[in-house]
Chains A and B, each alone.
Chain A
């Protein structure tokens, strides 16, 4: 049985010009010990879909699905209270901007221990020990000293490591990483991706990696969902996706990569979709 299984997920937003469908009929499943990448350009509904799973969307959003189960629990029927227990403990999420997700007014140690207090009901001494251990696991040097640092006293890469420490604090079964390296330099990106994948393997977590970057997909995923304008264009194991992409949109994305350029010009997704629409009527 899959760890997370969603059938026919749709999310609409009430806007001044009527309802806007940000996610339209997505099926998705991820197993324990599996890395699923969701890739698509900005606005394709990647974040909204995951926020819907976490129950973190604003009131203007309408979420519908035929089914949504996590670890055997029916998430559609679950009470808000029960959901709040699970989210942050069994399912954890990290976001693109580590600086923005950490609270600038509190020390790293406080923020880490707060999660342990809320979800794990640990006493102060145990919390502190666990906090140090977690910072060690995410590769932060001299963790005892770091506990009393504020976010602005650390680099972007260090902040993202702290975010990861907070996310794995309660041994989640599923970790959702939403563009975790987009704001970072490539050398730091590499370290963070390696860290995420090694933690995923070590603890047998499911990992959903949201990204717009085909390189990140190639470096981390087992399986991939390609999303475009709220719809799923293709789902494949990572090698098949790069070796023999089925959907015209995936082919367009791959051929827009500068490293795949042939000759003087890059093919663009717009060109590709235009041609495709003329031939077969691609989704709009």
Chain B
């Protein structure tokens, strides 16, 4: 039997904007009734252009923001942070990693403390235990014990993203939401981080929600794909279904706009250019 780790049923999120003395408050529906199920150990990719509601959904899935309506189930248990008390066990299970690895790290905190902090706040582990676990995690993400006492600014973008991943893993979560985790990274570093994520998924049987606007990355990493457009899910299926037979016109537009770097496409472009000249 497969185990469903995460489920959304008709999740809606409204933002109220404006509402000053002069203007009337306006309601923006950023997420318009999203439903899905995600099995343990699988990767769901969420794609769509900026402003379509990906991050808003990501924050709801990781219990940072409440949904306006609809149901969120983690390990089969319904949870709504606007009403229910969130247990530390719930908090432990779901972690989020953001695009900008620098902005999400405190510049005055040594890496060792960055990694130890989730344990300090959520567990009764001693300082020595926290230190050992942090050292172990540094090695797991491809850094070393020698990095324990360094500050974030001493690391490159790719290394900082490893640190953010390490921090998210300290509490042994079962679900990671990755919000554009490689969008700010160079190609070679992107490859390293994607490899790391694949290794960690295998080792800990992690479930990923991978938010991205890069279809080539999505095609590489996803088991399932959800395409969002103005807060709505316009396409949802297995990776192969979505890539080989997209149904919605927006998905088709997205595919058509993605640069093609295979030799046949380059030849076709050059031939067309020659005719035009």
Contact = CB atoms under 8 A, between A and B. Distances in A.
Interface of A: 41-42, 185-190, 201, 212-219, 238-239, 242-243, 252-253, 256-259, 261, 264-270
A268 B190 CA distance: 8
A41 B49 CA distance: 24
Contacts of A257: 187, 216, 261
Contact of A256 (B188, B258, B276): B188
A140 to B, nearest CB: 19
A185 B49 contact: yes
Contacts of B215: 186
A239 B265 CA distance: 10
A219 B260 contact: yes
Contacts of A213: 259
Given A186-B49, A216-B259, A268-B192, 12 more contacts: A186-B215, A187-B253, A188-B49, A213-B259, A217-B261, A253-B188, A258-B217, A258-B220, A266-B191, A266-B220, A267-B191, A268-B195
B234 interface: no
Interface string B195-223: 10010000000000000011111011100
A256 B261 contact: no
A253 B222 CA distance: 22
Interface of B: 49-50, 186-192, 194-195, 198, 213-217, 219-221, 253-254, 256-263, 265-267, 269-270, 273, 276-277
Contacts of B267: 239
Contacts of B214: 186
Given A239-B270, A259-B219, A264-B198, A185 B263 contact: no
Nearest to A189: B257
A268 B192 CA distance: 6
Contacts of B190: 256
20 contacts: A186-B213, A186-B254, A213-B259, A216-B259, A218-B260, A218-B262, A218-B265, A218-B266, A219-B261, A238-B270, A253-B187, A256-B187, A257-B216, A258-B221, A259-B219, A261-B220, A264-B198, A268-B188, A268-B195, A270-B192
Contacts of A266: 191, 194-195, 220
Contacts of B254: 186-187
Contacts of A264: 198
Contact of A252 (B188, B219, B253, B263): B188
A160 B243 CA distance: 30
Contact of B198 (A215, A239, A243, A265): A265
Nearest to B192: A268
Closest 10 interchain pairs by CB? Answer: A215-B259, A269-B188, A258-B220, A218-B261, A190-B257, A266-B191, A185-B49, A41-B186, A256-B191, A268-B191
Nearest to A216: B259
Contacts of A190: 256-257, 259
A275 to B, nearest CB: 14
B175 to A, nearest CB: 22
A184 to B, nearest CB: 9
B270 A214 contact: no
A41 B187 contact: yes
Nearest to A258: B220
B274 to A, nearest CB: 11
Contact of A187 (B220, B257, B263, B265): B257
Contacts of A189: 257, 259
A98 to B, nearest CB: 14
A215 B270 contact: no
Given A239-B270, A261-B220, A214 B261 contact: yes
A215 B261 contact: yes
A259 B187 contact: no
Contacts of B260: 215, 218-219
A196 B61 CA distance: 40
A257 B195 CA distance: 12
A242 B215 CA distance: 20
Given A242-B263, A268-B195, A186 B188 contact: no
B189 to A, nearest CB: 8
Nearest to B50: A185
A35 to B, nearest CB: 10
Contacts of A256: 187-188, 190-191
